Amino acid sequence: MTIRIQGNEIDLADVRRLYPAAIIRYADGTVTQISIEWYDETKNADVELLHYAICVHFAKEERPPAIFPCEDRGKLEEEIAAIASQIEG
């Protein structure tokens, strides 16, 4: 099965993990992706939200992950709904 995320076709047979995330920067400059639940529970002055994203990790580890940024949480929720509707058929 193939799905579309922000105009990109992705074969689900090639996907190991697909999930929403918050992309943050810690006070020391480290940028990383974290779960939205973690961000909601621990956001503070030491953590800057850069954006939300849909993250896709592929089964073949030599293929780099695909990160699809979303400008805000509303857009992230729209992307999640669009992916779900494609999977549900």
31-34 and 47-58 strand pairing? unpaired
2-22: pLDDT as tens digits = 999 999 999 999 999 999 999
Q: In percent, how much of the chain has pLDDT > 70?
A: 100
pLDDT at 43: 78
pTM here is 0.87
Question: Which of 11-15, 44-48, 63-67 comes out lowest in average pLDDT?
Answer: 44-48
Across the chain, the runs of DSSP E, i.e. the strands, are 2-5, 8-11, 15-26, 31-34, 47-58, 66-70
Dist CA 31 CA 12 (whole Å): 27
